[in-house]
Structure 1
Amino acid sequence: MTRARHRMEVVASCHGGSLADSPNESVQYLKRYLEYAENGPAVLARDVLPSDAEPDSPFEEAVLAVLRSWGHRVQPQVGVAGYRIDMGLRHPGMPGACALGIECDGAMYHSSKAARDRDRLREQVLSGPGWRLYRIWGTDWYRDRAAAELRLREAVEHAIAQGPLLTPEAEATAGAREEAADTAPRVEVAYERVPVEAVTEREWSTPYRTSTVLVTLRHELHTAEARPALRQALRQIVGAEGPIHEDLMVQRAREAWGVGRAGARIRDNVRGVAEGLVRGGDLAKSGDFYDLPGRDGDLRARYVSAGEAARKIVHIAPEERYLALYELAAECPGMTQDELIKQVSEFFGWKRTSRDIRERLEADIAELCRRRKLDGGPERVNALR
Structure 2
Amino acid sequence: MWDLELQDPDALDVVADVVLCVVEVEGPVEKEVIYTRVRLAWGLGRAGQVVRDRIDRALRHLLRQGKVVKVDTAYDRPGHETEFARTPTDRCARRVAEVPAAERQLVLRNVVGEGPGVHREDLLREAARFFGWARLGADIRDALTGDIDALISSRDLIESDGGLMPAEGA
Q: Structure 2 length as normaliser, TM-score?
A: 0.90
How do residues 339-350 of structure 1 correspond to structure 2 at under 5 angstroms?
339-350=122-133
Q: What is the match of residue 84 of structure 2?
A: 300
Contact 1:341 1:361 in 2 (8 A): yes
In structure 1, give the amino acid aligned to 2:10: E
Number of aligned residues? 168
Q: What is the match of residue 206 of structure 1?
A: none
**Distance (whole Å) between structure 1 residues aligned to residue 121 and residue 160 of structure 2:** 10
Q: What is the match of residue 104 of structure 2?
A: 321
Contact 2:69 2:78 in 1 (8 A): yes
Structure 1 residues 42-71: Cα deviation after superposition (integer angstroms, max 9, x where no partner): xxxxxxxxxxxxxxxxxxxxxxxxxxxxxx
Q: What is the match of residue 310 of structure 1?
A: 93
In structure 1, give the amino acid aligned to 2:117: G
The one of 50, 54, 64 equivalent to 1:269 is 54
**Distance (whole Å) between structure 2 residues aligned to residue 223 and residue 236 of structure 1:** 20
The answer to which structure has the higher helix fraction is: 2
Larger relative contact order (CA 8 Å, sep ≥ 6): 2
How do residues 1-385 of structure 1 correspond to structure 2 at under 5 angstroms?
215=1, 217-296=2-81, 298-305=82-89, 307-377=90-160, 380-384=163-167, 385=169
The alpha-carbon deviation at position 321 of structure 1 amounts to 1.4
Larger radius of gyration: 1
**Distance (whole Å) between structure 1 residues aligned to residue 40 and residue 150 of structure 2:** 35
The alpha-carbon deviation at position 274 of structure 1 amounts to 1.4
The 3-state SS of whatever aligns with 1:381 is strand
| Runs of at least 5 residues in structure 2 that lack an aligned partner in the other structure | none
CA 369–232 in structure 1, closer or farther in 2 if over 3 Å, else same: same
The answer to which structure has the higher strand fraction is: 1
Q: Structure 1 length as normaliser, TM-score?
A: 0.41
The 3-state SS of whatever aligns with 1:322 is helix
The alpha-carbon deviation at position 379 of structure 1 amounts to 5.7
Structure 1 residues 315-351: Cα deviation after superposition (integer angstroms, max 9, x where no partner): 2222221111011111112222111111100111111
Identity %, equivalent residues: 31
